[in-house]
Chains A and B, each alone.
Chain A
Amino acid sequence: MISNDKKEVLEKLELESRSLFQDAKIRFFKNKAAVLSLVIICIIVLFVLFGQNLSQFAYEDTDWDLMQVAPSFLTGHFFGTDDLGRDIFVRTLQGGKISLMVGLMGACVAVVIGVFYGATAGFIGGKIDGLMMRIVDILASFPFMFFIILLVTFFGRNIGFIFVAIGMVSWLDVARIVRGQTLSLKEKEFIEAARVSGTSNFKIVQKHIIPNVIGIVIVYATLLIPNMIIFESFLSFLGLGVQEPDTSWGALVNEGSKVMDIAVWQLAFPGLFLVITLFCFNFIGDGLRDALDPKDR
């Protein structure tokens, strides 16, 4: 049971934090680059999801008479075709689905694991915290990328596996950040209040700590997405990406980079989408950080 005045304090705090978010929102929307990026990302997402309807081709269909032809509205291949006569336009859309999904899911895995681990360590503190953070230190000096190469080489690939693998590498930083935040939050009055009022530790972590660190986590996650997409393209380069005829921007760009001198459209179109997307996520991430962290500048 929470006594009335304590309840009041809590409500007031909640109010305060809400206005904090509102402030952030205002600041974010003042940042033109970030807002523009957000709009572009939304357009790209919609385009990737529904653009298929603009073309008469399916992403796996081959055409022996139109192999590696330049973009043309006459043939209906807006972005040209690859060396099997497949339409680059629909393949770019298909690749976008996979790349964005890998980015989002990878970031989610990293955030979920990282937040719970970091918040737990920070909240419990003491010896267990030390132990948990030592484990993070040990893991941080693992050559994970090489492990992933091994894993994907030996045990085949599917998209789910790539999500998890990529997420596994990135959760360490999230855990560190969240732990740091948690440590400082722990000393704050409202946590103290919740603790005094008999709320269980798990509840405190869930109800108070996590919502309060979520801001910085979102920033971090936004900046993680482009890294995930780049990492997927690295796997594609090694021939360990998604299974054909499915594709990703990374895989398309990799194929295109091998014929850039003779069929530049194979590189240019998926490359443009990839670069713009990464740009936008970076701008949004920066915008969010500036918005949520007023002491910066």
Chain B
Amino acid sequence: MLKFIIRRVLIAIPTLLVLISISFVLVHSAPGSPFTDDRDIPPAIMKNIEAKYHLDRPLIVQYCYYLKDVVTWDFGPSFKFKDYSINDLVNKSFPVSIKIGFLAFLFALIVGVAAGVIASLNQNSKIDYSVMTFAMIGAAIPNFVLAPALVLFFAIYMKILPAGGWNGGEWKYLLLPVFAMSFRYIASIARIMRASMIEVLNSNFIRTARAKGMSNSYVIIHHALRPAILPVVSYLGPAFVGIITGSVVIETIFGLPGIGQLFVNGALNRDYNMVLTLTIIIGGLMILFNTIVDILYAVIDPKIKY
């Protein structure tokens, strides 16, 4: 196991390096500079601005500067927001995204697995059909339709929840974004869970266990759940990526100060270092998460050895 983890970390380094390089080339080949503006900037001033941010140096030198920034974990000033450094901005937005993402993820996992199990135990009943219908709808409704619909209903007509904002992460402000974000994944997880649970319940070892006279709930909890959850675990990686990506939409609609907004604005403003920093952080997170998922998989499935 330790060997496996070390190997993953070793792979992570070149992966991140490739990531940085590609993003670097991409960002710097974009038309316009961070300081292109509607109003004219005198050439002398432009030269000074560029010097201030090392933009007058050859690209390869800038690349080295950037690598240095990564190693020291100090990404310098934002090109756009003059009062803050990139570290400041990311440190402030990151917890917001993590909190929402984590809650949405957890919520999707718990509700999705529960719904899937309940459906599978009542196969072809009304409960099963309603869960499956819900799952189908969930997979088909884009979150940018669901989110404003929720706002319209809960915030504007019922006036029981706020229409947006963060307010330090107070629970009232979390409900709608977390639900809007997790909806799709509740649906997918429920579907996967149901299918795999049905398969496991029909397998020989469950039949044997039942034949031995064990109680139904005991069999399900102690024998069926563990193998049945494996396909869900392997879906967690893609779900995580989806939630991170979806955060761009949810943060825009609810006006949340997270990294999704920071990234899109960074790209639009050509805030080079901001975009690069977020790419690394998101990439790093994905590597980390995939590793956790793999370990989890190994813990649950005794057949897998590293």
Residue positions of A touching B, CB distance < 8 A: 134, 137-138, 140-143, 145-147, 149-151, 153-155, 226, 230, 233-234, 237-238, 250, 253-254, 256-258, 260-261, 267, 271, 274-275, 278-279, 282, 296-297
- Which residues from chain A contact B90 at a C-beta distance below 8 Å? none
A234/B249 in contact, CB under 8 A: yes
The residue on A at minimum CB distance from B30 is: A154
Given known contacts A145-B245, A150-B267, is B18 in contact with A253 (CB within 8 Å)?
no
B148/A258 in contact, CB under 8 A: yes
Residue positions of B touching A, CB distance < 8 A: 11-12, 14-15, 18-19, 22-23, 26-27, 29-31, 136-137, 139-142, 144-145, 148-149, 152, 156, 195, 198-199, 202, 237, 241, 244-245, 248-249, 263-264, 267-268, 275, 278-279, 282-283, 286-287, 290
Mostly helix, strand, loop or mixed at chain B's interface? helix
Minimum Cβ distance to chain B for residue A93 (Å): 20
Per a CB cutoff under 8 Å, which of B148, B199, B237, B264 touches A260?
A: B148
A237/B152 in contact, CB under 8 A: no
The residue on B at minimum CB distance from A249 is: B142
- Which residues from chain A contact B264 at a C-beta distance below 8 Å? 149, 238
Minimum Cβ distance to chain B for residue A215 (Å): 18
- Which residues from chain B contact A256 at a C-beta distance below 8 Å? 145
- Which residues from chain A contact B248 at a C-beta distance below 8 Å? 149, 238
B139/A150 in contact, CB under 8 A: no
A143/B26 in contact, CB under 8 A: no
When chains A and B are docked, how far (Å) is the Cα of A233 from the Cα of B188? Answer: 19
Given known contacts A154-B31, A253-B145, A275-B140, is B11 in contact with A146 (CB within 8 Å)?
no
B14/A138 in contact, CB under 8 A: yes
- Number of A-B residue pairs, CB cutoff 8 Å, is 106
- Which residues from chain B contact A138 at a C-beta distance below 8 Å? 11, 14-15, 18
Closest 3 CB pairs between A and B?
Answer: A154-B30, A278-B140, A145-B245
When chains A and B are docked, how far (Å) is the Cα of A257 from the Cα of B19? Answer: 35
B249/A151 in contact, CB under 8 A: no
Mostly helix, strand, loop or mixed at chain A's interface? helix
B148/A230 in contact, CB under 8 A: no
Per a CB cutoff under 8 Å, which of B19, B149, B278, B290 touches A140?
A: B290
When chains A and B are docked, how far (Å) is the Cα of A137 from the Cα of B245? Answer: 19
The residue on A at minimum CB distance from B184 is: A230
B282/A143 in contact, CB under 8 A: yes
B145/A271 in contact, CB under 8 A: yes
When chains A and B are docked, how far (Å) is the Cα of A259 from the Cα of B195? Answer: 38
B12, B139, B202, B283 interface centre (most CB from chain A within 10 Å): B139
When chains A and B are docked, how far (Å) is the Cα of A260 from the Cα of B146? Answer: 11
Minimum Cβ distance to chain B for residue A161 (Å): 14
B202/A257 in contact, CB under 8 A: no
- Which residues from chain B contact A258 at a C-beta distance below 8 Å? 148
A234/B245 in contact, CB under 8 A: yes
A143/B279 in contact, CB under 8 A: yes
* Interface CB pairs A-B, < 8 A, 23: A137-B11, A138-B15, A141-B287, A143-B283, A146-B263, A149-B248, A150-B275, A154-B29, A154-B31, A226-B139, A237-B144, A257-B149, A260-B149, A260-B152, A261-B152, A274-B142, A275-B140, A278-B140, A279-B136, A279-B140, A296-B195, A296-B199, A297-B198
